[in-house]
Amino acid sequence: MALRVNPDLIDELELFGAKDVAKCYQCGNCSAACSHSDDPYVFPRKSMRYLQMGLEKPLRSALDPWLCYYCGKCSDQCPRGAEPGETMMGVRRWLTAQYDFTGLSRMLYRSWSSELTAVLGVALLTGAGFSIFGFFFGGGNLSVYDGPGAFLPAHAIHVFDWTMGAILGLLLLINCLRMWHFTMRNEHSVPVPASMYLHFLPLLPLHFFTQKRFRHCENKTPWANHLALVLSYLTMLVLIMVFLKYMQAGPQINWYVHVFGYLSAVGLVATSIFAIRGRLKRDAAYHRHSHESDWMFLGLLLFVTVTGILQHILHRAGLPMAANIIYIVHLMGVVPMLGLEVPFSKWSHLAYRPLAIYFSQLQQAAQAEKTTNLVTLQPRA
């Protein structure tokens, strides 16, 4: 049965940042230049072809885009300036929107204004919400930061964090299931036995925490930067989700906890500034093009980190009221950042990429088993 093409797909993808794909004349140089591309996952050319042809279905069920880390080598060598790297980035944004069942992601990606309004809206709600909570249900006194009668008591925030975490986790889980459905349940994919799913499971945490595949790219800087960012971010996440009350306690410094905070704070500031600087200078291929969502993500990240540090300092400096105000401002960044970015936007790739690696290897293993009738493949780290 012939596949019906969607000639408008290429325009749709342009909104997601794939602006130059039409220039590609399909020489295949990019796929061969890429250090991750390997049979049967040969990219970026093939994904670009699906896009050029408007072959929506094959593109939606492709894992390839997630196996690309955008080192930019393909774009540098491209004879037509078709920016394969950026095209893959655009496809990843589009896939994120495809996985997202709420349709919110598509809206955020397609229009800058709606993304801005969404972020600001959530920020204001958060601000209002926490102020009201502080005055009427919390300590009620803006000049008390910690201990009993704190304006925003740690335990309350703790509960809030976990609730939000749970909701976001659920949303993300649903999207991941949809990803699984698209990529593992199409006519080309091989059915994978449950045992194999378990057998390969370790791949998920491995790639989540180490980003080690990224290291195969010829250009190592982005990998190092990305790893630093991920680790700092995770450290901070753990500190906040688990050790919030120690974090918030003060004014004396609890080195056992805070030293980690300082490290990750430094990591976050450094990496986000590095990224912003790169995107402004456009010196490397992987920084040459910036989608609005990239700026929003970096902006929020820096904002949240800085305000976080600030409230910490103010608190230690014995300015509890200022600390509380900044705290609220900080939360006004945190909530939209996590609430919008994680399930609906850029940060979701934290989940999708390791999943894609996991799925791709499952597919190969299942394929091999189908053809040779014995498990030949082991999880490849």
Q: What does the alpha-carbon distance between residue 247 and residue 155 come to, in Å, rounded to a whole number?
A: 12
Structure tokens at 305: 């980190």
Candidate ranges 6-14, 249-257, 348-356, 358-366; the one touching other proteins (CB under 8 A): 6-14
Residue at token pair 């057998």? 199
Candidate ranges 28-36, 106-114, 141-149, 343-351; the one touching other proteins (CB under 8 A): 28-36
Q: Does 33 bind other proteins (CB under 8 A)?
A: yes
Q: Does 184 bind other proteins (CB under 8 A)?
A: no
> Which residues 35-74 are close enough to bind other proteins by CB under 8 A?
37-40, 42, 45-46, 49-50, 52-53, 55, 58
CA 145 to chain centre: 32
**Nearer residue to other proteins within complex by CB, 39 or 198:** 39
Q: What does the alpha-carbon distance between residue 128 and residue 146 come to, in Å, rounded to a whole number?
A: 20
Beta bridge partners of 41: 38
Q: Does 187 bind other proteins (CB under 8 A)?
A: no
- Closest distance to other proteins from the beta carbon of 8 (Å): 8
Q: Which of 297, 238, 239, 304 is nearest to 269 (CA)?
A: 304
Q: What does the alpha-carbon distance between residue 107 and residue 102 come to, in Å, rounded to a whole number?
A: 10
**Nearer residue to other proteins within complex by CB, 78 or 302:** 78
Instruction: Answer whether 316's CB lies under 8 Å from 107's CB.
Output: no
Within 8 A by CB and 6+ apart from 275, the residues are 225, 229, 287, 298
- Closest distance to other proteins from the beta carbon of 51 (Å): 10
**Nearer residue to other proteins within complex by CB, 42 or 306:** 42
> Which residues 89-128 are close enough to bind other proteins by CB under 8 A?
none
Which residues are at the interface with other proteins (CB under 8 A)?
1-5, 7-8, 10, 22-29, 31-33, 37-40, 42, 45-46, 49-50, 52-53, 55, 58, 77, 79-81
